[in-house]
Amino acid sequence: MTNPLFYAKILLFGEYGIIEDSQGLTLPYSFYKGTLKFSSLDSEFEKKSNEHLIKYAKYLQNLELPETFELNVSKFEEEIAAGLFFDSNIPQGYGVGSSGALVAAIFERYSISKHEPENISKDELKNLRTVFGLMESYFHGKSSGIDPLICYMNLPILIESKESVDKVAIPASEAGKGAIFLIDSGMTGETGPMVQIFFEKMKTEGFRKTLKEEFIRYNNACIDAFLKKDMNPFFRNLKKLSHWAYEHFRPMIPESLFNVWKKGLDSNAYYLKLCGSGGGGYILGFTKDYEKAEKMLDGFHKEVIYRF
């Protein structure tokens, strides 16, 4: 069986804000990937994955999906019994979409009506996102459906609002001094508790006000400037966004990164922001001079994902 590979995703902009109708920009990240496979389940990893699929199939049995997006869950269960597992190197709890890739792989293999990602219209994207949200809710309690959508489409996606998503072209990566990179915080983060903290914060009027008037404004301006490759306003808004997160998303910032987060803001050598829900996993870094930033972030494992 040769099943397609599903790549990880990176939410470049929009963490938490998309819950409150900000824009978001997300792209596939091919360094990490997963695919469905069969085996005799000799290894601990394969056995565990297979056991997880058994539980997930039970959840899918009771899930009511729109007719055109129904899944053949019986076939899924038969194949699980025959040794199906999800072979993936996508780290869990790192904000790069491990459950999203699994959901996309299952949908691609078991959806009764076939859907061609390259021919999907904007309206269908919306419906597909809803379906993926229902499927992924098993893992996070509540899901926007964005992660599996990116993994399934394998294209950059612009989240225009809660209701609207669209495929988007991002400027090509090119050899230059600047870079967007990932920093490994050295610990895993769980989405559920972080989202809970966010909703608690949303109960206070002051936080709601600053999120709407500042965070969403800086976030949307960053997306707009990045897509136009307009780097001066991009970095200007990025600094404001990074500073806002340092002030208001403190519980979501891994402790190991507090000081270097502040160092970036003070020196303007680089700016950091959350990658997904935070609390651990990866943090995103942006710099006009990667060589300089790399020296200042010595001791942290880094991966460049985009050059300019």
The pLDDT-based confidence of 181 (bands split at 50, 70, 90) is: very high
Overall average pLDDT of the 220-225 stretch: 98
Model-level pTM? 0.86
pLDDT of the residue at 2:
63
Residue 130 has pLDDT above 60, yes or no: yes
pLDDT of the residue at 189:
85
The pLDDT-based confidence of 94 (bands split at 50, 70, 90) is: confident
pLDDT of the residue at 264:
98
Residue 142 has pLDDT above 80, yes or no: no
Element containing residue 221 per DSSP (H, E): helix 216-228
Residue bearing the bigger pLDDT, 116 or 105 = 105
Q: What angle do CA 58, 60, 64 make, to 5 degrees?
A: 130
pLDDT of the residue at 117:
81
The pLDDT-based confidence of 258 (bands split at 50, 70, 90) is: very high
Tell me the one-letter amino acid at 18.
I
The pLDDT-based confidence of 173 (bands split at 50, 70, 90) is: confident
Overall average pLDDT of the 54-61 stretch: 98
Tell me the one-letter amino acid at 209.
K
Across 191-205, 232-246, 271-285, the highest mean pLDDT is recorded for 232-246
Residue 140 has pLDDT above 80, yes or no: no
Overall average pLDDT of the 277-300 stretch: 96
Q: DSSP for 68-89?
A: GG-B-HHHHHHHHHTTEEEEE-
CA distances for 163 relative to 20, 116, 131, 149, angstroms: 11, 22, 13, 14
Residue 297 has pLDDT above 60, yes or no: yes
The per-residue b/e assignment along 97-125, b for 16 or more CB within 10 angstroms, e otherwise, is bbbbbbbbbbbbbbbeeeeeeeebeeeeb
| Per-residue pLDDT tens over the stretch 72-86 | 999 999 999 999 999
- Candidate from 43-47, 87-91, 111-115, 188-192 with smallest mean pLDDT: 188-192
Residue 1 has pLDDT above 70, yes or no: no
> Is residue 268 classed as helix, strand or coil in its secondary structure?
coil
pLDDT of the residue at 24:
95
Overall average pLDDT of the 57-63 stretch: 97
pLDDT of the residue at 95:
81
Overall average pLDDT of the 279-308 stretch: 96
Overall average pLDDT of the 14-42 stretch: 93
pLDDT of the residue at 277:
86
Residue bearing the bigger pLDDT, 95 or 297 = 297
Residue 227 has pLDDT above 90, yes or no: yes
* Structural domains of the chain, ranges and CATH numbers in brackets: 6-167 (3.30.230.10), 179-307 (3.30.70.890)
**Percentage above 90 pLDDT, the chain:** 79
Q: What angle do CA 45, 46, 47 make, to 5 degrees?
A: 95
Report the alpha-carbon distance of residue 50 to residue 171 in Å, rounded: 39
- Contact at 8 Å (CB) between 91 and 184? no
